[in-house]
Structure 1
Amino acid sequence: MMIWKPNVTVAAVVEHDGKYLLVEEEPEAGAGLFLNQPAGHLDPGESIVQGAIRETLEETAYTFVPEYLVGIYQWHSHRVDTTYIRFAFGGHVTHHDPERALDTGILQASWYSLDEVNQMIQQHRSPLVMQCIRDHLAGKRYPLELLTHYE
């Protein structure tokens, strides 16, 4: 008997001077190029907040400091027949290590204006990319204390 479960992912919504930090990625060969927030799957044993910090570093070479939760999102990808639960965090980045190799499948990390993000909507990895930005722009900010991690 197969047990269904969603995939837990984390994402960083990082805005600086009106531009958003996004990654250009090719998740699997032949799938095409996508635009996404720094995001990925939660690793075993790490907290949701730790996952967002790790994924941002691995995909952008920036150190991410989460300050608040932007939202929790559920989305079913018909392309891969998978349901995702995404925890999106807002915050800022500090140190950047341009010599750090980016995660497999990540071509580059860049800063995009809202107009540029809108113009490339057909390249978004999922509808969650734009929804997270809209929620960020709407001022959605929830305290990190909503999340509790037990080991």
Structure 2
Amino acid sequence: MITPELTVAALVERNGRFLMVEEVVREQTVLNQPAGHMEYGETAIDAVVRETREETAWSFTPTAVVGAYLWRIPSATRHVMRILFTGDVADHDSDSELDDGIIATHWMDYQALQAAEDRLRTPLVLHGLDDYLAGRRLPLDTVRCFDYTGAPR
């Protein structure tokens, strides 16, 4: 049985450009939206705010969910479930040290990202951008967290 890895990502647009991170993954330099795994006890919103700050030094305020994407990776016998949030950033801390593996942050337009498709960390980056550009937005409470201590209802 394969248990999907649960990840979150932030899609931030400013003036037609998208906030991206350039990072080293398995000895390759790739482009990705600020993203990462949820930690135990976090909500998805907590995780995306934390990951964006750690990877970009920006404070991220989610405003909507763009979608949830399951990427089945047969060659790696693993699955990744990614929840993509959109929102705004503010309060950039230029003195903040970025997460290990992050080389730089960039603001890139869609055409540049399409041209760099072979450098994108996953195919989910463009799928999410396409959904965002098509206007897909779901309320934040689409992704809910429950801490049940008793029997399920």
TM-score, with length taken from structure 2: 0.92
- 5+ residue gaps, structure 2, are 148-153
- Highest Rg: 1 or 2? 2
Name the amino acid aligned to 1:38: P
Q: Which residue of 2 aligns with 1:23?
A: 21
Find runs of 4+ consecutive structure 1 residues off by over 6 angstroms. Answer: none
Tell me the matched-pair count.
147
Structure 1 residue 4: Cα displacement: 2.6
| Alignment CA distance shift 1:78-1:123 (3 Å) | farther
Structure 1 residue 81: Cα displacement: 3.0
Choose the corresponding residue for 1:118, options 114, 118, 126: 114
| Alignment CA distance shift 1:78-1:106 (3 Å) | farther
TM-score, with length taken from structure 1: 0.93
State how 1:28-107 maps to structure 2 within 5 Å.
28=26, 30=27, 32-78=28-74, 80-107=76-103
- 5+ residue gaps, structure 1, are none
Q: Which residue of 2 aligns with 1:108?
A: 104
Q: Which shifted more, 74-83 or 46-55?
A: 74-83
SS at match of 1:44: coil
Structure 1 residue 79: Cα displacement: 5.1
Name the amino acid aligned to 2:96: R
Cα distance in 2 between the residues matched to 1:51 and 1:79: 27
Name the amino acid aligned to 1:105: G
Cα distance in 2 between the residues matched to 1:116 and 1:57: 24
SS at match of 2:97: coil
Name the amino acid aligned to 1:10: V
Choose the corresponding residue for 1:9, options 7, 10, 28: 7
Is 1:143 paired with 2:139? yes
Cα distance in 2 between the residues matched to 1:16 and 1:78: 35
Report the identity percentage: 38
Structure 1 residue 115: Cα displacement: 1.4
C-alpha RMSD over aligned residues:
1.1
Cα distance in 2 between the residues matched to 1:85 and 1:59: 20
